[in-house]
Structure 1
């Protein structure tokens, strides 16, 4: 299992574990130590991971940070932990105090759900007030996994991370500002665009009017971008649709037995496929009508949550052998093998035809 898959699997497990975690120590054991292991470090090797690492502050002796990841017996990453329900905002000062007393170039503040990485971009040997990289494990994105991978033992390089930290910090801050202004445009944001399109003086009344217009314009722009990309994705390989030959796949005895014994688990791939099918059908029907109903041996995609209106079946139990099945008029199923979930776009015509038949 590669790093990305390991992180995504861990993210799913975190949500299941949280209700059972009552203390900060339990947070460390259930969430943070496994996370450190995913970064390639042996949490039971004191030469790699030092719990309760001593970081004396001036005349205050015996001050300890929860964990320090070591290299050549020197700390390279300090980790301060809190209970998963705690807000991290009041606690960065604690990590701030430890930072300048050690050789560590990076600090991590986490409650097992949120992860905030710090360094000293503003003043050398003085931890920045704002993190240069942060994410929520339950919502982690592919680009964030790529950044996190730089902290893996196999790839860790201080200069490499430092060189990208500044860009990453300001990139994230600008994204946050854009998100705020797209949802609730600030006066400065509105004035910037209003000056370019409105020929007269911008009064308070005009500004208020353009706040609504700007907010609506942002929404329309985002929707148009999504639609354009969706249309482009739907068009990918559409000319080769006729070349996609159906393959009748008979499940093996072992697969049938595994299906019977396994519990129903809706995977990320199944949900992703469901989203693609909803997107394909969006121009023809209301997406809310497309419903996922999982079973042990397959995942059904239905119209109006009605078994008599099947769109298709996803056979994703074996991640190395993905296929999608469509019903023929005699109710038999023809399966198409796909190399990845994205190849569902190649079967666009089959998806649409299934809905036309069952409307």
Structure 2
């Protein structure tokens, strides 16, 4: 069975396991070791997966060595270090602790901190043998797409190459930076970008501020038309919104509703963030009804009106804000062919970067909630 199918089967088991997992040790046994097994590592072989590995100079009081939870050894050499946390802890707050282990183990090329569902990968791009402060890759077992899976393949036992880690990390970071730059330019062209395009057109006129102002809306419309043409030609739909935020990977960039736009009669709701409330208000507006959601870990869950299960759930905390529908993937694509959907262990997923994106999902939201 290929890795994608194995991960899908494993992801379906996780929700039922979480209710019985208490603490870090249980997280290791129920979530982390099975995941390492899927990647092809022999978790029962201490020459390949070494538990409680002592870092060289990371010492506690009285000369005792600090120990990282797992060291992955390939050809007898420590290649990856893994720091485990309980499933209900945030992985991003433990990179400092992990850095001490990585910096003291010169053969390790990758350091990972995980809570059993999210895995954050670090290396030493900026300074050799000093772990970078930012992860170059984040993989979520419950929420990933084909590009995430393609990167994860590079860390399987069969494909791992220590010598190529720096190159891979550089390419990933470069891709992220370029993607963000192009994304921002396509949605809100900068003056420099407009000047470049006008100059490339060879219009033989001096590019003044007035010229830039004139061509900015034209360029914005041209970009939208070009994207629509690409979508039609390739039959690979993309989610296009006329008002996306400047930074597409942060949930904090979601536009907030003003106080005047908030309904005067607030329904009883769990404790939600501003982003979560803004998304909920938009869904209420689309469905033309009040909703009483529940909070499940980082997701806001909207129950089906029949009382049988849930209709949809959304997450604004994840680096890629998204909404999951309790619908088959083919059904969602048939309803909204202009939207790019992903398969998800719980149904069908669509990413969004602004409240306006939700209105492109209007028909799917209605289908999930009404049927």
- Fold conserved between structures, TM > 0.5: yes
1:271 aligns with one of 319, 325, 328: 328
Cα distance, 1:36 vs structure 2: 0.7
Contact 1:278/1:290 (8 A) holds in 2: no
Paired position in structure 1 for 2:82? 79
SS at match of 1:55: strand
Which residue does 1:139 correspond to in 2?
143
Shift in CA distance, 131/68, structure 1 to aligned 2, threshold 3 Å:
same
Aligned partner (choices 229, 232, 235) of residue 234 of structure 2: 229
- How many residue pairs match? The answer is 250
The match for 1:6 is 6
* 8 Å contact from structure 1 (residues 79, 108) kept in 2: yes
Distance 1:157 1:24, change over 3 A: same
Q: In structure 2, what is the Cα distance between the partners aligned to 1:178 and 1:228?
A: 21
Matched ranges for 1:259-338 at <5 A: 271-279=328-336, 288=364
Q: 1:201 aligns with which of 205, 209, 219?
A: 209
Q: Partner residue of 1:341?
A: none
For 1:240-287, what per-residue CA distance to the aligned partner results, in whole angstroms no more than 9, with x for missing partners?
xxxxxxxxxxxxxxxxxxxxxxxxxxxx9x8232234335699xxx95
**Which residue is 1:126 aligned to?**
130
Preserved contact between residue 55 and residue 62 of structure 1 (Cα < 8 Å) = yes
From the superposition, tell whether residues 168 and 281 of structure 1 become closer, same or farther in structure 2 (CA, over 3 Å).
Answer: closer
CA contact (8 A) 1:41 1:153 kept: yes
1:265 maps to which residue?
none
The two structures, once aligned, show a CA RMSD in angstroms of: 4.0
Partner residue, 2:192: 192
SS of alignment partner, residue 42 of structure 1? coil
> In structure 2, what is the Cα distance between the partners aligned to 1:86 and 1:215?
42
1:68 aligns with 2:60: no
Question: What SS class does the counterpart of residue 125 from structure 1 fall into?
Answer: coil
1:31 is matched with which residue? 31
Instruction: Tell me if structure 2 keeps the 8 A contact 1:69–1:78.
Output: yes
Helix, strand or coil at the partner of 1:172? helix
Deviation at 1:107, TM superposition (A): 0.9
Measured after TM superposition, the shift of residue 290 of structure 1 is: 9.4
Which residue does 1:259 correspond to in 2?
A: none
CA contact (8 A) 1:131 1:169 kept: no
Structure 2 equivalent of residue 44 of structure 1: 44
Alignment correspondent of 1:21? 21
- Judged with a 3 Å threshold, the aligned counterparts in structure 2 of structure 1 residues 179 and 92 are, in CA distance, closer, same or farther, namely farther
Other-structure match for 1:164: 168
Task: Determine which structure has the larger helix proportion and give its number.
Answer: 1
Seen in structure 2, the aligned counterparts of structure 1 residues 58 and 68 have a Cα distance that, compared at 3 Å, is: closer
C-alpha displacement of 1:98: 0.8
Distance 1:162 1:229, change over 3 A: same
Any unmatched runs of 5+ in structure 2?
Answer: 199-205, 238-324, 340-361
User: Could you list the runs of 5+ residues in structure 1 that have no partner in the other structure?
Assistant: 233-267, 294-303, 306-359
For residues 365 and 77 of structure 2, what CA distance do their matches in structure 1 show?
Answer: 58
Which whole-Å deviations, capped at 9, do the CAs of 1:82-119 have from their partners, x for residues lacking one?
23333322211111111121121111122222222122
